[in-house]
Amino acid sequence: MANNKKISQLTPLGTAVVNDLLAIVDVSAPMETKKITAANLMTSSLPAEFSAITLGGNQINEFSTDGTLSGDSDTAVPTEKAVKSYVDAAVYDAVKLNIIHTGVDSTAVIGDVYLVDATGDVDITLIADGREGKIIVYKNSGPDAVNIIPGGSSLLDNSSAPAELTFVTGSLEFITDGTDFYTI
């Protein structure tokens, strides 16, 4: 055992074996250094403090590997892999775009990017399916119009009734709150 050394000067412990002696500092009053052996840590007769952790008033008793985080538990902490799986799936859905080349009337849903190149007017009907998101419509070229039509009972730009928006060149982006559409 090292005498009068700083923690940074101590040799790191490799794999603990039964006869290794570990020092634990108890910071409760009076502060005192206690000893514990690797054998103590490996036995099943450990105090309850080693089987659960209390964080923010909740007793944590599980490390969850559920990548969907569907357990919605106050007593489970997700592993790094579970969090990564959850975030990867959420980000994929958020940035996934469907690029669609068209020259005919079409129906657009969240995540669609329409590239319109047509001879003749084209109607793009925006469908709200309860999800929040974005739809982009880009008119490549030509003198014909692209007509944007909100589907069902959806409103466009807070109009009191469904309204159409027509443009000949450029692009328009629309966001939806899951019910109505707004031009951005």
- Which of 56 and 146 is assigned the larger pLDDT? 146
pLDDT of 127 higher than 90: yes
CB 118 within 8 A of CB 149: no
Average pLDDT score over residue span 143-169: 79
Mean pLDDT (the chain) is 77
Domain-terminating residue out of 92, 122, 149: 92
Q: What proportion of the chain, given as a percentage, has pLDDT over 70?
A: 66
Q: Can you give the residue range of the structural domain that contains 30? A: 18-92
Does residue 47 share a domain with residue 26?
yes
- Among 45, 61, 92, identify where a domain stops: 92
Whether 4 is in a domain gets the answer no
The number of residues in the chain equals 184
Average pLDDT over residues 19-32: 63
pLDDT number for residue 44: 43
Mean pLDDT, to the nearest integer, of 60-83?
A: 87
**What is the number of structural domains in the chain?**
2
C-beta separation of 175 from 182 below 8 A: yes
pLDDT digits (tens, 9 = 90+) for 72-115: 888 888 889 999 988 887 776 666 788 999 989 999 998 899 99
Q: Is residue 177 part of a domain?
A: yes
pLDDT, greater one: 43 or 98:
98
The whole-model pTM stands at: 0.51
Report the pLDDT value the prediction gives residue 176, as an integer from 0 to 100.
92
User: In the prediction, which pLDDT does 164 show?
Assistant: 64
